[in-house]
Amino acid sequence: MSDNPQLAAATEQARILAHALPFLRRYAGATVVVKYGGHAMGEEELAEQFGSDIALLKQVGVNPVVVHGGGPQINAMLKRLAIQSTFIDGLRVTDAAMVEVVEMVLAGSVNKHVAGLINRAGALAVGICGKDGGLIRARKLSRTAKDPGSQIERVLDLGFVGEPEHVDVRVIHALTGAGLIPVIAPVGVGADGQTYNINADTVAGAVAGALGATRLLMLTDVAGVLDGDKKLIPELTVADARAGIASGMISGGMIPKVENCVDAVLRGVKGAVILDGRLPHACLLELFTEGGIGTLIRP
């Protein structure tokens, strides 16, 4: 080995590039939908790395589409406005006053911040929400719960919380076709023009399914799906995932994430991955290394 540190660094870079090349070829021209949220969104260094990674994906021929959340930012604004939040099954009950705040934060400050992270890294990102170009037509989300005493099922009113009814991908294709990266806030519009607050994981799955994406990457605050010994499960089929939910191995907040991944795969996504967004360069590690770093759910 040479004692020249510059040569050593260049040799290491060449080794990394040679290792990544087959994966770069695999994903060339592919659409990858990334759901961005959690701690990765709140920590400045991780946020800057995320922007750089998305820009890099575009530069090597991948077509990234970003869907972001913004729960902590919404909470902060509601606190400033002295508006109290109520949650049912992890979903924020959203009245008329609150849906205005949600739209302002998600489609405004958060959306432009995430697009700005990518733009500063040298790519061209455009922030939009589900209302733009009729991207996400939504309907009111209905939930039921059984009364513990009577076991009678009752309908829960979540207000203006919605779910995607239809995703019109024309606006996404127009942006990606022009070399731009869409950054989507999870706000949709009903047939009557009503604005709906939609869970970002659900939007990411619906968008990935409508696009027939090669990969859906769900960045979370855990390593992925864990087994009974708290060890990462590298890969699950749809049948495995359903069995894991039925047995209780997959529980709590992981259930809706897995269900969204399963739904995306059934809609035509080739693979959906739950991975730890707190890891530096999580997206690159998942796509461009053998085996990836999260839990892959596939048909």
Q: Confirm whether 23 is domain-assigned.
A: no
> Residues 6 or more apart from 248 whose CB is under 8 A from it?
none
Q: Confirm whether 279 is domain-assigned.
A: yes
The pLDDT of residue 210 is 96
- pLDDT tens digits, residue range 55-76? 999 999 999 999 999 988 988 9
- Position 144 confidence tier, pLDDT thresholds 50, 70, 90: confident
- pLDDT tens digits, residue range 168-210? 999 999 999 999 999 999 999 999 999 999 999 999 999 999 9
Please give the tally of structural domains in the chain.
Answer: 1
Instruction: Name the β-bridge partners of 137.
Output: 166, 189
The boundaries of the domain holding residue 102 are 29-298
The pLDDT of residue 183 is 98
- Position 86 confidence tier, pLDDT thresholds 50, 70, 90: confident
DSSP-based helix, strand, coil % in the chain, nearest 5: 45, 25, 30
Q: Confirm whether 78 is domain-assigned.
A: yes
Q: Confirm whether 193 is domain-assigned.
A: yes
Taking phi first (over 0 means left), then psi (-120 to 50 degrees means alpha), and beta for anything else, what does residue 31 get?
A: beta
CATH of the domain at 110: 3.40.1160.10
- pLDDT tens digits, residue range 212-242? 999 999 999 999 999 988 899 999 999 999 9
> How many other C-beta atoms lie within 10 A of the C-beta of residue 1?
6
Q: Which helix (H) or strand (E) holds 91?
A: strand 91-92
Q: Confirm whether 19 is domain-assigned.
A: no
Q: Confirm whether 20 is domain-assigned.
A: no
> How many other C-beta atoms lie within 10 A of the C-beta of residue 197?
25
Q: Confirm whether 33 is domain-assigned.
A: yes
Q: Which helix (H) or strand (E) holds 274?
A: strand 272-276
Q: Confirm whether 66 is domain-assigned.
A: yes
Q: Please choose, from the candidates 80, 76, 68, the residue with its C-alpha nearest in 3D space to the C-alpha of residue 38.
A: 68
- Position 135 confidence tier, pLDDT thresholds 50, 70, 90: very high
